Amino acid sequence: MVLDGAATVCPSVNMTKHTPQPATPDVFTGSFTQQEPIPQEGIDAALAVLNGGRLHRYNTHGDEIAETALLEEEFAAQMGSKYCLSCASGGYAMATAMRACGVKAGDKVLTNAFTLAPVPGAIASLGATPIFVGVGEDLKIDLDDLAAKTDEADVLLLSHMRGHICDMDRLMQICDAADVKVIEDCAHTMGAKWKDTYSGRHGVLGCYSTQTYKHVNSGEGGLLISDDPDLMARAIMLSGSYMLYTRHRAAPPPEAFEQVRLHTPNISGRMDNLRAAILRPQLRDLDAQAKRWNDRYKVLENGLSGANRLTLINRPADEHYVASSFQFLLLDWADAEIVDFVARCAARGVELKWFGADDPVAFTSKYDSWKYANPTPMPATDRVLKGVMDMRLPLTFSLEDCAQIARIIREEVAISA
């Protein structure tokens, strides 16, 4: 019976002989969450660690130097910092940086209204309270809002969210003048620079994540850099170095530990040798990978330039970003229009994250989602956040993939217009 029913629509089949075949629908089939494999050199180094069984960073044999100690030495050299500590996660690096700076329960810490959950979460983990600073249409921290709030806290946890680096000269002027210490969250800016200075080298401490979706991939992991011997001695003690800190190679001299070694709690969060082994070859590739990300970013940017009702993010010449993701704004669109647009893109395989959704999907990225911090509404920031669209840009995408994604978004925006 069903077949009979189907048969009644058969005449349309004949019509296709006389009308052009519909083009294959333009649907993107790549995965927005698929990263590249770990380089063979990293796999080999990981196997060597596994074969030795000495995964703990202080479990070394004879004059062996642990992979973690080598990683720290190499990353410090790469960033031009005196010291480096590897640790369990980017979130752990941020909490440790704040603890080293003396942030304690009841304190307030300035941070971005537009960032990801582990940033205010790191502040809350110390019993401190985030004070949110607004975001501009360039997706960078609003420096006027920052200047107005520096009286409220002694520390700014600055998140270079999605790789957008603000005018760091002006930010440091504002913070230095107000005696506010700057800790940088470089989860999305590893390898990026403002002018000639690496992200993470402006503040007293720079924090990085080596989690799968960041610029190097060890599953989970974090790195912390600084030139300050006292802060780094504290951070190393906090991470759980016991009295074995002299085994670190990118650490301050033993004198720096004298005052803190028995006064700093052990809040274990070390990295292990397996992750360090995987990361070392990836760090050597960082600049080449950055170029590949930026090539992809530029294809998307070109493909979307001039699209009606869509705002691209202004990237000043002094901002040398590493574009592991892509953002654009749909400013002043109605919620229903955005929901419809996102659904149509998704139907064509383009996974966009609408950061502005009232009810967050998958993860949170705006200040009013963090109710525990009791945030004060910021209307200008809300207007920007409402329109932020976000897309991951894994290196498994080819330049042709990026051109196709831009074409799909452009067509769907045009339908909305």
Catalytic residues: 214
Which residues are 392's β-sheet partners?
A: 325
Residue 124: exposed, middle, or buried by beta-carbon count in 10 A (0-12, 13-18, 19+)? middle
Residue nearest to ligand PLP (CB): 90
- 31, 350 Cβ separation under 8 angstroms: no
In angstroms, the Cα distances linking 408 to 27, 264, 345, 346, 393 are 8, 54, 7, 10, 15
What secondary structure letter does DSSP report for 192? -
The stretch among 21-29, 112-120, 142-150, 350-358 that binds ligand PLP (CB under 6 A) is 112-120
Among the listed residues 83, 86, 91, 156, the single contact to ligand PLP using CB under 6 A = 91
Contacting residue, 120, 200, 222, 387, with ligand PLP by CB under 6 A: 222
Q: How many residues does the chain have?
A: 417
Q: Which is nearer to ligand PLP, 42 or 90 (CB)?
A: 90
Question: Quick one: tokens of 132?
Answer: 């949110």
Please, how many CA atoms are within 13 Å of residue 3, restricted to the half-sphere of its CB?
0
> In this chain, which of 28, 76, 90, 194 binds ligand PLP, going by CB under 6 A?
90
β-strands 311-312, 83-87 pairing: unpaired
Stretch that binds ligand PLP, among 16-24, 116-124, 245-253, 254-262 (CB under 6 A): 116-124
Q: Taking CB under 6 A as the rule, does residue 116 contact ligand PLP?
A: yes
211 counts as binding ligand PLP under rule CB under 6 A? yes
Give the Å distances, CA to CA, from 121 to 111, 157, 223, 231, 364: 11, 11, 18, 21, 11
Q: What's the chain's Rg over C-alpha atoms?
A: 24
Q: Which is nearer to ligand PLP, 97 or 345 (CB)?
A: 97
Least Å distance, CB 163 to ligand PLP, is 9
Nearer to ligand PLP, 118 or 252 (CB): 118
Work out whether 159 is an interface residue with ligand PLP (CB under 6 A). yes
Q: Which of 49, 85, 139, 161 binds ligand PLP (CB under 6 A)?
A: 161
The yes or no reply on residue 115 touching ligand PLP (CB under 6 A) is: yes
In the complex with ligand PLP, the residue whose CB is nearer, 217 or 289, is: 217
Interacting residues toward ligand PLP by CB under 6 A: 89-91, 115-116, 118-119, 159, 161, 185, 187-188, 209, 211, 222
